[in-house]
Amino acid sequence: MPKRIIISGGGTGGHIYPAIAIANELKTIDPTTEILFVGAEGKMEMEKVPRAGYRIIGLPVVGIKRKLTLENLAFPFKLGRSFLKAQQVVRDFGPDVAVGVGGYASGPVLLAASLKGIPTLIQEQNSYAGLTNKLLSRGAKTICVAYPGMEAFFSIQKIKLTGNPVRTDIMQAKGKRPEGLAFFKLEPGRKTLLIIGGSQGARTINESIEKDLRLLVDSGHQVVWQTGPLFIERARKAIADAGASRVKAFDFIYEMNLAYAAADVVVSRAGALSVSELCLVEKPAILVPFPAASEDHQTKNAMSLVNRQAALLVNDREAPTDLVPAALRLLADPGEQQTLSQHIRELARPKAAREIAEEVLKLIK
Binding positions for UDP-N-acetyl-alpha-D-glucosamine are 12-14, 126, 167, 199, 253, 272-277, 298
3-state secondary structure of 78: helix
**Element containing residue 177 per DSSP (H, E):** helix 177-183
Nearest to 205 by CA among 220, 218, 194: 194
Nearest to 40 by CA among 87, 99, 108: 108
Q: CA-CA distance, 215 to 196, in Å (whole number)? A: 19
Which residues define the annotated binding site? Answer: 12-14, 126, 167, 199, 253, 272-277, 298
Half-sphere exposure of 287 (CA within 13 A, CB side): 32
**Element containing residue 332 per DSSP (H, E):** none
Q: CA-CA distance, 69 to 177, in Å (whole number)? A: 48
Q: How many CB atoms lie within 10 A of CB 155?
A: 11
Q: CA-CA distance, 333 to 328, in Å (whole number)? A: 9
- Within 212-364, residue ranges assigned H as helices are 213-219, 232-242, 256-262, 272-281, 297-306, 319-331, 334-345, 352-362
Q: How far is residue 76 from each of residues 11, 27, 70, 79, 136, measured CA to CA in Å? A: 19, 36, 12, 5, 18
